[in-house]
Amino acid sequence: LMQRADDAHCTLALVKPDVAQDEQAVATIIGRITARGYTIKDRVEITLSRAQASAFYAEHSDRPFFEGLVAFMSSGPTVALLLEGDDVVRGWRMMVGPTSPATARQQMPQSIRALLGDDGPRNAVHGSDSAESAQRELGFFFHPRIQAEVEEEPPTPAE
Ligand code: RTP
Ligand code: MG
């Protein structure tokens, strides 16, 4: 069954380089995902180049933290997971928690960033912030299948 580009049924989860080489932490994250009822449809481990990390976070290119973010994201392997499930875009963001691990520990102590995050850009995991972001970001890691499905969809009417 084709997934529409505006469907919230698929999202990208990244385990960032601060945690991706910690097998036990990755297992904890995957265990939480499957316990929540989401399916991991695909998994790949890649070290992003600086260019790839810059393109991935292009929306933040004018922010003061951008250089540090790109350096961090290209500093080692990242584990990318293609998640599928009902309302998974929002649901995975909820599991991830607030951007700052310090804030997460105060406001959402059960969240993954509260548990595994450090500080600054080193916040353990990423989640796409919308269905549109998910389709764009999944293309960085899971090229053929997702791209083909999206390209077969008719253009979305402008809002
Ligand atoms: P993400 O995109 O990685 O899932 O994180 P997010 O939506 O919660 O936060 P976003 O605003 O998109 O920021 C992207 C990543 O940039 C780093 N960051 N550092 N003030 C800071 O030092 C700062 N703000 C953001 C974090 O790694 C954040 O996840
Ligand atoms: Mg974001």
Structural domains present in the chain: 10-151 (3.30.70.141)
Cα distances from 1 to residues 4, 9, 70, 137, in angstroms, run 10, 12, 36, 21
Specify the higher pLDDT residue, 153 or 71: 71
Stated pTM of the model: 0.88
pLDDT in tens, 55-101: 999 999 999 999 999 999 999 999 999 999 999 999 999 999 999 99
Confidence of residue 152 (pLDDT cuts 50, 70, 90): very low
**pLDDT given at position 62:** 98
Looking at 18-22, 41-45, 139-143, 151-155, which range is the least confident one? 151-155
Distance CA 93, CA 80 (A): 15
**pLDDT given at position 120:** 87
Largest CA distance in the chain: 44
| Catalytic residue flag (residue 126) | yes
**pLDDT given at position 41:** 97
What ipTM was estimated for this complex? 0.96
Is 37 near ligand 1, meaning CB less than 6 Å away? Answer: no
Tokens standing for residue 145: 């299948």
129 in the Ramachandran plot: left (φ > 0), alpha (ψ -120 to 50) or beta? alpha
pLDDT in tens, 104-142: 999 999 999 999 999 889 999 999 999 999 999 999 999
Specify the higher pLDDT residue, 137 or 3: 137
Q: How far is the centre of ligand 1, averaged over its atoms, from the C-alpha of 1 (Å)?
A: 33
Tell which one of 123, 125, 128, 132 to mutate to probe ligand 1, the residue whose CB is within 8 A of the most ligand atoms: 123
Residue nearest to atom 19 of ligand 1 (CA): 121
Confidence of residue 8 (pLDDT cuts 50, 70, 90): confident
